[in-house]
């Protein structure tokens, strides 16, 4: 009986949660940057969400999963910061010598221009400081409402609005700079 209940619960969880895997993975990529770290974070997010599925009463599934994912990533960064050895490099050092975003290399020539733009936007978003990066990703890529973003981040809607304004202003400034320096 309890086995049936567990199986039923897992089935319902799969049906409700798995459709959001791409969204979870996308946010994980922008938060963790490293592909393997992003996969681990997404994986842990789903395990944790399943454990809490019984007490889940809303809001919508997507913001709930993204809130859990964000906690997973924060816990991982906290853990790394607390580790004495080997000495961790700061985010800035990472940013300095590692590409923030890697694209698959081969692509048909007709797609190259569009690809180039997509890749540039991706790279510029990935380079934004963390609070602004997560806000703009949740809005413009994960497509959440301001209220859902406020719940995911645990901040008032007003804070979401001001961070989003800053994020877009920074993004636009860097975008213009980049286009200006293009041949």
Partner 1 sequence: MNCSEAEVLIHALIDGELDAGHARDVEAHVASCADCAGKLAAFRELRQAMAAADLKEKAPAALRARIEAALPLPQTPARAADAVVVPAPVLTARRFNRRFFVGGFALGSALSGAIAATLVLGVFNDEQQQRIAGEVVSAHLRSLQPGHLTDVETSDRHTVKPWFNGKLDVAPPVIDLTTQGFTLIGGRLDDINGETVGAIVYRRRNHVINLFVAPAQGASQGAPQGARRQEPTSQSRHGFNILHWQESGLDFWAVSDIAAGELDEFGQKFRAGLQPSPASG
Q: Which of residues 53-112 bind partner 1 (CB under 8 A)?
A: 53, 55-64, 67-68, 71-72, 74-76, 78-79, 82
Give yes or no for residue 1 binding partner 1 (CB under 8 A).
no
The window from 39-47, 88-96, 102-110 that contacts partner 1 (CB under 8 A) reads 39-47
For the record, the structure tokens of 36 come out as 């393997």
Give yes or no for residue 134 binding partner 1 (CB under 8 A).
no
Q: Site for partner 1 (CB under 8 A): which residue of 31, 66, 138, 171?
A: 171
Within the chain, residue ranges assigned H as helices are: 2-17, 21-32, 35-51, 61-82, 91-97, 112-126, 130-140, 146-153, 157-181
The CB-side HSE value for 157 (13 A sphere, CA atoms) comes to 5
Nearer to partner 1 among residue 92 and residue 156 (C-beta)? 156
Asked whether the beta carbons of 138 and 131 are under 8 A apart, the reply is no
Give yes or no for residue 18 binding partner 1 (CB under 8 A).
yes
Residue 107 C-beta: closest distance to partner 1, Å: 12
Residue 85 C-beta: closest distance to partner 1, Å: 14
Backbone angles phi, psi at 136, to 5 degrees: -70, -30
Nearer to partner 1 among residue 63 and residue 134 (C-beta)? 63
Asked whether the beta carbons of 160 and 153 are under 8 A apart, the reply is yes
Asked whether the beta carbons of 69 and 41 are under 8 A apart, the reply is yes
Nearer to partner 1 among residue 23 and residue 134 (C-beta)? 23
């Amino acid at each position: 009986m309890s086995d049936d209940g567990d199986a039923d619960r897992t089935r319902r969880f799969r049906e409700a949660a798995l459709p959001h895997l791409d969204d979870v993975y996308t946010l994980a990529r922008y938060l963790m940057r490293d592909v393997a770290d992003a996969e681990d974070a997404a994986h842990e997010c789903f395990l944790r969400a399943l454990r809490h599925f019984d007490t889940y009463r809303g809001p919508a599934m997507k913001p709930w999963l993204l809130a859990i994912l964000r906690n997973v990533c924060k816990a991982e960064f906290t853990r790394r910061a607390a580790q004495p050895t080997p000495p961790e490099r700061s985010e800035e050092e990472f940013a300095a010598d590692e590409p923030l975003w890697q694209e698959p290399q081969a692509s048909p020539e007709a797609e190259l221009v569009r690809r180039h733009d997509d890749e540039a936007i991706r790279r510029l978003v990935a380079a934004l400081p963390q609070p602004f990066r997560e806000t703009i990703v949740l809005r413009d890529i994960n497509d959440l409402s301001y209220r859902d973003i406020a719940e995911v981040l645990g901040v008032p809607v007003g804070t979401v609005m001001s961070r989003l304004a800053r994020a877009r202003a920074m993004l636009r400034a860097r975008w213009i700079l980049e286009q200006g320096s293009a041949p």
